[in-house]
């Protein structure tokens, strides 16, 4: 990492062409009280209190034909050092490279981006940065970003490998080995329209290089003005599962909100198709795969359904929600969202109802300074008997979750060389 820093400083000091160098940092510690987070609290459980922290340092270099960005990060739990120190505190090192990519100008047509980078498109439901997770999500990819008159056209590809071998370089069948996508977008005044197609390949098993491909195709649209904000998307999934069998699945979601002075009222609906039972090896799978998309922001702050297969026992998910946001001042706002969850398709755990329960998320945001903000959230879940059967926890206690997060983002300098 020292070599990376020296490289950027050299570029900044000695490059005599017209260039720009940026350096910024982000620190995000988060306190969490988990008393039923991700799964229902059991009667005999003990709540967890922990603090995690993300620290990022970002370097950027830009000329007319070249852009470079490198972002190392460290993610850790306070006090997770496996070794005992004199003070009893420490950290288990978790230093990694979050971003490291270069963008090359394609004359006036656009840019070619190569390296480790974030891929975030439209609502970020299928390709997103997963920012709630302290590690975030970046991709090793090559992406062509073209500007064609009033259209934006991006197409990209990844090829994942675990080891540097000469032969039999297998990849785990549980992970996506090859991801290819095409994104076509156009903005018409206050309307935004997009087409996204993703082809994701998984190996047939852990000792084979043969792959089956899953395809996801759909449309996204949004409208926004001073008072109204609406968005909707629908995606159909088809092809073959990694270990065999067909896929036929659907994701459809919509959200609408209206601003009334300091209050914003809104609501939305989500349908993620599912199965009556876990699909057999040669059967058709109707459970929609969310691929690399954001999950936390769409299915409740308590993260019960970030993994739909486990969270709904393959039944898919219906999520209807209402929310209200009150902007008390330019620095302070308070929001509350009420979710109702249900299985999209009932199974042997459904009993008399496909309902999974209610979740309420209360969130406060306060901007301390232009560079620093605080977010606090208190959430609780009221489960149905069906969810208790799904989670194999018939005697659950009261499930709640509280967090307090500080985010500090600062730009150290942004300068141009001669």
pLDDT at 30: 98
What CA–CA distance (Å, rounded) separates 132 from 406?
13
pLDDT at 416: 64
Short-list 121, 129, 137, CA closest to 193? 121
Instruction: Determine the distance from the C-alpha atom of residue 105 to the mean position of all C-alpha atoms in its chain, rounded to a whole number.
Output: 28
Which residues, other chains included, contact 131 with Cβ-Cβ below 8 Å and sequence gap of 6+?
294
Short-list 154, 45, 122, 103, CA closest to 391? 45
DSSP 246: E
Q: How far, in Å, are 224, 334, 353 from residue 321 at the CA level?
A: 20, 17, 19
Which residues, other chains included, contact 25 with Cβ-Cβ below 8 Å and sequence gap of 6+?
55, 56, 57, 58, 408, 409, 410, 412
Q: How far, in Å, are 143, 161, 317 from residue 232 at the CA level?
A: 25, 35, 17
pLDDT in tens, the chain (418 residues): 555 555 555 555 545 456 899 999 999 999 999 999 999 998 888 899 999 999 999 999 999 999 999 999 999 999 887 665 555 555 566 889 999 999 999 988 999 999 999 999 999 999 999 999 999 999 999 999 999 989 999 999 999 999 988 888 899 988 999 999 999 999 999 999 999 999 999 999 999 889 999 999 999 999 999 999 999 999 999 998 866 789 999 999 999 999 999 999 999 999 999 998 887 766 899 999 999 999 998 999 999 999 999 999 999 999 999 999 999 999 999 999 999 999 998 776 566 689 999 999 999 999 999 999 999 999 999 999 999 999 998 888 899 999 999 999 999 877 665 4
Enter the pTM of the model. Answer: 0.90
Domains, the chain, ordered by start:
23-417 (2.40.160.100)
Q: Helical H runs in 306-399?
A: 308-311, 385-390
pLDDT at 283: 81
Q: Helix, strand or coil for residue 391?
A: coil
Answer yes or no: are the C-beta atoms of 101 and 113 closer than 8 Å.
yes
What CA–CA distance (Å, rounded) separates 60 from 73?
15
In 179-193, which positions are buried (b, 16+ CB within 10 angstroms) versus exposed (e)?
A: bbbebbbeeeeeebe
Which residues, other chains included, contact 180 with Cβ-Cβ below 8 Å and sequence gap of 6+?
155, 156, 157, 158, 198, 199, 200
């Amino acid at each position: 990492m020292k070599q990376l820093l020296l490289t950027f400083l050299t570029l900044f000091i000695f490059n005599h062409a017209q260039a720009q160098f940026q350096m910024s940092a982000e620190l995000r510690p988060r306190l969490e009280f988990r008393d039923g987070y991700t799964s229902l609290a059991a009667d005999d459980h003990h709540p967890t209190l922990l603090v995690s922290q993300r620290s990022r340092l970002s370097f950027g270099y830009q000329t007319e034909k070249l852009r470079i960005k490198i972002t190392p990060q460290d993610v850790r739990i306070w006090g997770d050092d496996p070794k005992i120190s004199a003070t009893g505190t420490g950290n288990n090192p978790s230093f990694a490279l979050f971003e490291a990519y270069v963008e090359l100008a394609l004359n006036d047509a656009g840019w070619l981006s190569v390296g480790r980078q974030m891929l975030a498109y439209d609502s970020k439901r299928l390709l997103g940065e997963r920012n709630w997770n302290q590690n975030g999500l970046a991709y090793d990819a090559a992406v062509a970003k073209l500007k064609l008159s009033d259209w934006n056209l991006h197409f990209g590809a990844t090829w994942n490998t675990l080891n540097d071998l000469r032969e039999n370089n297998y990849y785990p069948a549980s992970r996506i080995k090859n991801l290819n996508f095409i994104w076509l977008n156009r903005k018409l005044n206050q309307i935004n329209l997009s087409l996204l197609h993703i082809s994701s390949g998984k190996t047939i098993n852990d000792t084979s290089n043969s792959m089956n491909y899953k395809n996801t195709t759909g449309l996204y649209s949004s409208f926004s003005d001073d008072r109204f904000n609406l968005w909707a998307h629908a995606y159909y999934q088809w092809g073959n599962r990694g270990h065999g069998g067909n896929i036929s699945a659907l994701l459809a979601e919509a959200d609408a909100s209206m601003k009334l002075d300091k209050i914003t009222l809104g609501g939305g609906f989500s349908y993620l198709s599912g199965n009556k039972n876990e699909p057999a090896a040669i059967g058709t799978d109707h459970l929609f795969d969310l691929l690399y998309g954001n999950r936390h922001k769409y299915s409740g702050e308590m993260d019960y359904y970030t993994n739909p297969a486990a969270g709904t026992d393959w039944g898919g998910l219906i999520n209807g929600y209402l929310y209200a946001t009150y902007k008390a001042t330019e620095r302070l706002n308070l929001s509350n969202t009420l979710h109702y969850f249900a299985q999209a398709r009932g199974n042997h755990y459904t009993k008399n109802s496909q309902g999974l329960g209610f979740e309420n998320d209360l969130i406060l945001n306060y901007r301390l300074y232009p560079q620093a903000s605080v977010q606090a959230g208190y959430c609780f879940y009221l489960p149905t008997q069906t969810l208790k059967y799904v989670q194999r926890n018939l005697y659950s206690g009261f499930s709640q979750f509280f967090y307090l997060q500080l985010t500090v983002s600062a730009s150290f300098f942004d300068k141009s060389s001669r």
